[in-house]
Structure 1
Amino acid sequence: MSSYLRKLKIGPSISSDSVHNKEDEFENKEMERSKVMRSIVEIQDPTAKDVDNSMICRFLRARDLDPEKASSMFLKYLNWRKEFVPNGSPIVIALSGRHKPTSVEEFKRFVTYTLDKVCSRMPSGHEKFTAIADLEGWGYSNSDIRGYVAALSILQDCYPERLGKLFIIHVPYIFMTAWKAFYPFIDKNTKKKITFVENKKLELTLLQHIDESQLPERYGGKLQLVPIQES
């Protein structure tokens, strides 16, 4: 074994400094060309301003750091997303008439599980989701002020600026009593995102904010509801 080893020819070694220098050169080149690419795509599609640089760089690498080719590829991607995921936002439906009050801790765990699920499904470049609180069938047996306040606290304190819009629909008159008790706990920024929708304007209002392909069938859209645990 020792004689065999002595016959092996050892080629020239590559120093770690050389490797690091090449990596630095590549990163610098990528950074400069990402700026060129960003300027190209933002002129043609202003929504590209919301895209983080890591995504720009991924498209650049896919086209060997050629800004023109990468820009063309990226703009096609943006157009595709607008058709396939029109608002880039998950739609959360809360069927409040099915809620049965339990312990606050159990409800908090459910809310956290739901919000984690929703946030994990958000496409790159988008941070907010749209929610619809459907109060059809809601009654005093569903009222859960402590649960609502706990859920609101989690949303506002632990998931800030995740809620884009909340539509409250099919509102029974008796709900307003619970709403008056709950309302003071909502911060001013969240209040601006809440809209009560009249039944006669339901479909029209929702379709103004949510693309038909992303709106559930029960509200005039084309999407089927998927239970949160199966999403």
Structure 2
Amino acid sequence: MGTVDGEADWGLVAQMRTFVESQDPSAKETDDYTLRRFLRARDLDIEKGSSLFLKYLKWRRHAVPNGFISESEIQNELPQRKLFMQGLDKAGRPILVGLAAKHDYSKRQIDEYRRYVTYFLDKACARMPTGKEKFICIADFKGWTFAHFDTRAYLAAVEIMQLVFVEDKKLQETLLEEIDENQLPEIYGGKLPLVPIENA
């Protein structure tokens, strides 16, 4: 099995494309970088990567029947101003910021929340420079209390994406290892004001 790095052999991606297009013709609309993300998510195993991708297409048709989530479909979530889209880190990946304490459990409707997470990820992917496959998300728990705890919402988010939480007392120093000061949000000692996700 080859590797899929830099200017590597894209043969595995081509094989995966042949298979997934034979199973679902709508896969033809997907670019090679997206297929590569699914392939890498399954350790370059074509069968497992293809299975994951085909499940994603099926989910997408059901969850996003219009092909996108409109702001009118998430009108209770957007005013909470809990997600922000910043610049790019040193590796050229989009930077997102989530403020957990801004989540209002009393206004949450689970189907709308799922649409909101999808909207958020679509915005991140749309900002993804060609050749990049990841984005950085700063999940900020400052001010978060058990009053904000929402098990159903967190499980819904985990269903859609993988989350990794890191606690670091040297937050600014750690963030500056990955993000230039002019791209780092002001609330973390940088120079860039927060940009609400809908304005990105």
- Length-normalised TM-score, structure 2: 0.53
Matches within 5 A, 1:145-184: 145-156=151-162
1:87 is paired with a residue whose SS is coil
Corresponding residue for residue 119 of structure 1: 125
Letter in 1 for 2:165: I
Give 1:230 deviation, angstroms. Answer: 0.5
**1: CA distance, partners of 2:176 / 2:139:** 16
1:213 is paired with a residue whose SS is coil
Give 1:49 deviation, angstroms. Answer: 3.1
Per-residue CA deviation, residues 92-129 of structure 1 (Å, 9 max, x unaligned), is 10011110121211111100000001101111110100
Q: Identity across aligned pairs (percent)?
A: 46
Per-residue CA deviation, residues 177-225 of structure 1 (Å, 9 max, x unaligned), is xxxxxxxxxxxxx5xx532122xx1111111122222211111222221
Matched, 1:110 2:116: yes
Corresponding residue for residue 3 of structure 1: none
Are the counterparts in 2 of residues 87 and 211 from structure 1 also a CA contact under 8 Å?
no
Greater share of helix: 1
Per-residue CA deviation, residues 1-51 of structure 1 (Å, 9 max, x unaligned), is xxxxxxxxxxxxxxxxxxxxxxxxxxxxxxxxxxxxxxxxxxxxxx9637x
Corresponding residue for residue 144 of structure 1: 150
Corresponding residue for residue 69 of structure 1: none
Are the counterparts in 2 of residues 118 and 129 from structure 1 also a CA contact under 8 Å?
yes
Structure 2 gaps, min length 5: 11-30, 32-87
Per-residue CA deviation, residues 128-182 of structure 1 (Å, 9 max, x unaligned), is 00011111111122111110011011114xxxxxxxxxxxxxxxxxxxxxxxxxx
**2: CA distance, partners of 1:134 / 1:85:** 17
**1: CA distance, partners of 2:146 / 2:103:** 11
Are the counterparts in 1 of residues 183 and 191 from structure 2 also a CA contact under 8 Å?
yes
**2: CA distance, partners of 1:85 / 1:194:** 18
Are the counterparts in 1 of residues 98 and 139 from structure 2 also a CA contact under 8 Å?
yes
Q: Tell me which structure has the larger Cα radius of gyration.
A: 1
Query: Relative contact order (C-alpha < 8 Å, sep 6+): which is higher?
Result: 2
Letter in 1 for 2:168: V
Q: Pairwise CA RMSD of aligned residues?
A: 2.3
Aligned residues: 117
Aligned with residue 103 of structure 2, among 94, 99, 102: 99
Matched, 1:228 2:197: yes
**1: CA distance, partners of 2:173 / 2:187:** 13
Structure 1 moving runs of 4+ over 4 Å = none
